Structure 1
């Protein structure tokens, strides 16, 4: 089951790949990096609250973390696969 429901931009794909240490990743700015750490550490209720303000980033992170092909799909979006 896919958790990515929105189109993910190339930039977001690069950032999420970096967060998970996957090839094709590029380090984001400090604010985005901190937000990704918060999303990754949050419980389900908090993740859904964060999704209200950052739907693309949350969807991409959940795909990378939970979908069997999430990293590969992000690499394809980033042009790294």
Structure 2
């Protein structure tokens, strides 16, 4: 989770209805694309948006992902 900033964490949490705050329309579309992407396309998106991909992967696949992202969003956990 090295590249996840508090802003990124908040945007991804909001997208998944777990708190945070809404991103701008372009960023929302990026998060949606990452959310829907297969692994090969997600890897391509990671080239331009590594923090967002890391955050989406964390919330989708890590059992502690929501908790970790909430900590990053609140500045309690270093990314």
Provide TM-score, normalisation by structure 1: 0.87
| Unmatched runs of 5 consecutive residues or more in structure 1 | none
Tell me the SS of whatever aligns to 1:32: helix
Write the distance in 2 (CA, Å) between the matches of 1:12 and 1:68: 19
Equivalent residue number for residue 27 of structure 2? 32
Name the count of aligned residue pairs: 76
Q: Which residue of 2 aligns with 1:67?
A: 62
Alpha-carbon distance in structure 2 between the residues aligned to 1:52 and 1:71: 23
1:29-81 deviation digits (Å, cap 9, x = unpaired): 00000011110001110000000111111001100111000010000011188
Distance 1:63 1:15 in 2: 13
Distance in 1 (CA, whole Å) between partners of 2:57 and 2:6 is 16
Q: Which runs of 5+ in 2 are unaligned?
A: none
Question: Normalising to structure 2: TM-score of the pair?
Answer: 0.89
